Amino acid sequence: MTEHEELLMLRALAAKQAQELEASRRIIAERDEKIRKQNIQIDNMIQALLHARKKLFGPSTE
**Mean pLDDT on 42-51:** 96
Task: Please report which confidence band the pLDDT of residue 60 belongs to, taking 50, 70 and 90 as the band edges.
Answer: low
| Per-residue pLDDT at 29 | 98
Handedness of CA 25, 27, 29, 32 (dihedral sign): negative
Please state, rounded to an integer, the average pLDDT across all residues of the chain. 94
For the cut 80, the answer to whether the pLDDT of residue 54 exceeds it is yes
